[in-house]
Amino acid sequence: MASSLSLPQNTITDILSRLPVKSLTRFKSVSKNWADLTSAPAFIAAHLRRSATDPSLLIRRYHSQSGWDYGIWLITNPTLSYATQLLRIPLEESLPLFPKIVGSVDGLVCLDISPCYASDFAMWNPGTKQIKRLPLPLITSSRDNPIWMVFHGFGFDSFNNDYKLVRIVSFRGNDASPFLRVEVYSLREAVWKEIEERFELALLCGGQDGVVVDGSLNWAAIGLQGFADRKVVISFDMGREVFKTIPLPPVTRYGNVKVVSYMGLLAVAVYPLVFAANGNNMNRFEFWVQSDCEDGMKRWSNMVVVENFSKSLVPVGTWGDRELMFKHVGVRDRENQSSLFLFDPVDHTTKRLPVDFVDICFQGFSYVESLVSVS
């Protein structure tokens, strides 16, 4: 006589929340109850909490001007098994250029799919393979008012339970000074809106995306007017949709500045100018972290100083909570390959990752698998 085993619903939920997205997608066809369970917001949140403890590394590589070697790769357990997987973007064949990654948050990857001016975007979940092309932005370039540069960032607004894409558009004014317009896309509302909020006039440093720290997007910038000739951080609070300017730490001499999130805190890496011929402290690497003090103020503390730092090592972001990613550029080995490294600023250990052909177009992001919808 056959017997059946019935598990409590809480046990079933706990078991399913530990499974990868690929398995959960298959299980949706088992029963309507399971399909409803795995689509419920509470289950999606529980699955995300577990997944967030085991982040992977998402990289974009576009090697050579002809683009003969490009792709978005996922490296799981990068410090252990080095398992790599080439990801296919559903819209890839119809795009004029290979997409650029704007940001990776909670399993959602925001892509810039435009040929120029960051004017076309898509939201992609590599785990569920869902992709959604977003409405076109409101702010456009014109003959009388051409766009000079565009900066963007993607993050989660916990205050409004919403994912937001921020687009900062810089125009060259008639007096040769830049002026800015800012718009925000809400994934929950599926609309763009231009906001009147501005920040202290500053020139954002090129080639960077907004870095998410505690509900804010952050960019390195060169201050103008009141912050003349000083490097600062421009921070955008996604919940209140307001900007603020954060002075950088008291570094003797600045080279390049990379804003990163470290242990959930705002941090900056100051490193040598790759093409600088001389200058004081040009071979010095410094890592600073901003934290709360007992008086309620935020202050910078110096965590790492490395003298005689190689100009060919460039920080590109963080993996997980505490390891910095560096790409090795400018110097190639005999096989014409450059490399990617992880550096732990606490114990100063370095690990090489199985990623070659890392060039100026390389991007690296932490990635966690999730069931979060692109809509």
pLDDT-derived band at 126 (thresholds 50, 70, 90) equals very high
| Domain harbouring 179, CATH code | 2.120.10.80
pLDDT band at 125 (very low <50, low <70, confident <90, very high): very high
pLDDT attached to residue 335 = 46
- Per-residue pLDDT of 284-302, as tens digits, reads 888 999 988 877 788 999 9
> Is the pLDDT assigned to residue 123 strictly greater than 60?
yes
Does the pLDDT value for residue 200 go beyond 80? no
Q: Which domain holds residue 116?
A: 52-367
Average pLDDT over residues 271-276: 68
pTM of this structure: 0.88
Reported as a single tens digit per residue, the pLDDT across 299-329 is: 999 998 888 777 677 888 888 778 898 887 6
Asked if residues 263 and 275 have their Cβ atoms less than 8 Å apart, the reply is no
Task: Indicate whether 252 belongs to any domain.
Answer: yes
Quickly state the pLDDT bin for 1 (edges 50, 70, 90): very low
- Residue 34 domain-assigned (yes or no): no
Query: What's the structural domain count of the chain?
Result: 1
CA atoms within 13 A on the CB side of 4: 2
Q: How many CB atoms lie within 10 A of CB 72?
A: 25
Neighbours of 188 (CB within 10 A): 12
Residue 219 clears pLDDT 50, i.e. is over it? yes
**Residue 295 included in any domain:** yes
pLDDT of residue 289: 95
Is residue 166 within 8 A of residue 184, CB to CB? The reply is: yes
Whether 22 is covered by a domain: the verdict is no
SS3 per-residue string spanning the chain:
CCCCCCCCHHHHHHHHCCCCHHHHHHHCCCCHHHHHHHHCHHHHHHHHHHHCCCCEEEEEEEECCCCCEEEEEEEECCCCCCEEEEECCCCHHHCCCCCEEEEEECCEEEEECCCCCCCCEEEEECCCCEEEECCCCCCCCCCCCCEEEEEEEEEEECCCCEEEEEEEEEEECCCCCEEEEEEEEECCCCEEEEECCCCCCEEECCCCCCEEECCEEEEEEEECHHHCCCEEEEEEECCCCEEEEEECCCCCCCCEEEEEEECCEEEEEEECCCCCCCCCCCCCEEEEEEEECCCCCEEEEEEEEECCCCCCEEEEEEECCCEEEEEECCCCCCCCCCEEEEECCCCCCEEEEEEECCCCCCEEEEECCCCCCCC
Residue 305 counted as domain residue: yes
- Domain membership of residue 186 (yes or no) is yes
**Positive or negative torsion for Cα 67, 71, 77, 82:** negative
pLDDT greater than 80 at residue 206: no
What's the pLDDT tens digit per position in 173-183? 666 566 789 99
Report whether pLDDT(205) > 80. Answer: no
Establish if 282 belongs to a structural domain: yes
137-163: pLDDT as tens digits: 999 988 888 888 899 999 999 999 999
Which segment of 59-68, 235-244, 336-345 scores lowest on mean pLDDT? Answer: 59-68
Structure tokens at 246: 């954060």
pLDDT confidence of residue 333: 46
Share of the chain above pLDDT 70, in %: 81
**Residue at 373 is within a domain:** no
pLDDT in tens, 34-49: 888 899 999 999 999 9
Q: Taking all residues of the chain, what is their mean pLDDT, rounded to a whole number?
A: 83
